[in-house]
Structure 1
Amino acid sequence: MHVLILGGTTEARRLAELLEGELPAGSGVTSSLAGRVARPKLPPGQVRVGGFGGAGGLADWLRAHRVDALIDATHPFAGTISHNAATAAATAHVPLLMLRRPGWVPREGDDWHPAGSLAEAAKALPALGRRVFLTTGRMGLAAFADLDELWFLMRSVDAPEPPYPARMETLLDRGPFTLEGERELIRRHRVDVLVTKDSGGAATAPKLTAAREAGIPVVVVRRPPLPEGGAVAGSPEEAVAWLRTLMA
């Protein structure tokens, strides 16, 4: 069996680790990374970096490399590759599983403001605060570029490229983050509003607790809907169970 994992997430790396001792002899796992992060954490097994050239290119790759199962374990906001994966899997007649960590759920004391997009999040900010902790990554900063009256602390793995807000300090860091560290960032930079995507998972969740403790509002960008045509798993272990059923 040959399994292709569209990865780049913690769940994708964990799945590749689990499959090392799970698949029968002669099988292989290939993890595909988009190549947007300069120094990614590499999973075990074969790794390829870069795009496929759209859904058609991915379908061709699935056929050429005799892929038996495609697992889309990309970031919950990687909408384009997920739709390409669904189309390619249907075209090449390859079983598809979408591995998505559960989203975050507000708790008592949270002041969450849902937004349907980064542009909608930017529109809501002036009424919520003046010093923004922006944790949506380095892509899409153009949505906030015109908010000259606000100050931003932007955290990402790699340095952003313009356009981005004029009054912005960049913090290059990679999770997981600690609650103590998030508390200190909010205190030291006098943050009064947090912006995040609903990425889910534990690695970046402490910022939500820190915001709740500080009594500051949180703008939460909702996830794009999943494409149709594939099974869905909430954890790497569930993905392994799906593969077992497929092999049986």
Structure 2
Amino acid sequence: MPRPRREDAQDTRALALGAARDLLHQYGYLGVSMDAVAERVHVRKASLYHHFPEGKEQLVLLIADEAISEGSEGIAQAIGAHTSARRRLIAIATYIFSGTVQIGRVLRDALRFMPEDHQRRVYEQFYRQHYLQVLRVMDEGVETGELRPHDTGRSAWAFLDLASEMGSGGEAHRDAELAAWIVGLMLDGLGNRAAGIKEPHGRQGDPARPGSLGLANLADPASRSQE
């Protein structure tokens, strides 16, 4: 029996990743299976295991790696295109909404169901490539006086939480208008400023000392083991 051409093998791998990405976007981690991917690509499941010996987890890990790396470049471009913290955050949120894979959903699912070593890998990549960029925007906003002194570590996680959650589904139209609303909610708030509510300063939300925000807690497997 003739061996598959290299081009055919590469096509199968790319098609399988695309099918798994679509399933992940539509249904989350639990909606991805080797059977479902094989059916969409029109190949035998055994052929998929030839390309992905670790099965579904390998597929999801590769998708997460790609999405985080691609997202890092998009966030950097959004930051570079603007100078104010407000405009930068709106651009970042708008970019997050545009992704073919909603990384917040991937992150949550991966960190609930994947092995601990894969959890750590996904978290560390997200932390370095996404979180630290948003943290820099918050810190520079405080330094320039655009933002008042506050816990920038926590606000960076809160922003990513809101943008990821509101960009991962639902009927609301996800665009620059929604991005501006999210940023306005964070920077302007809903309360009366005359109330003078005090907040802690510093980076208490940094994942080195996990705060109470959903994404931060889910992102750090170590923080869950201490609960």
If each structure's helix is expressed as a fraction of its own residues, which one has the higher value? 2
Give 1 or 2: higher strand fraction.
Answer: 1
What TM-score, normalized by structure 1, do the two folds share? Answer: 0.23
TM-score (norm 2): 0.25
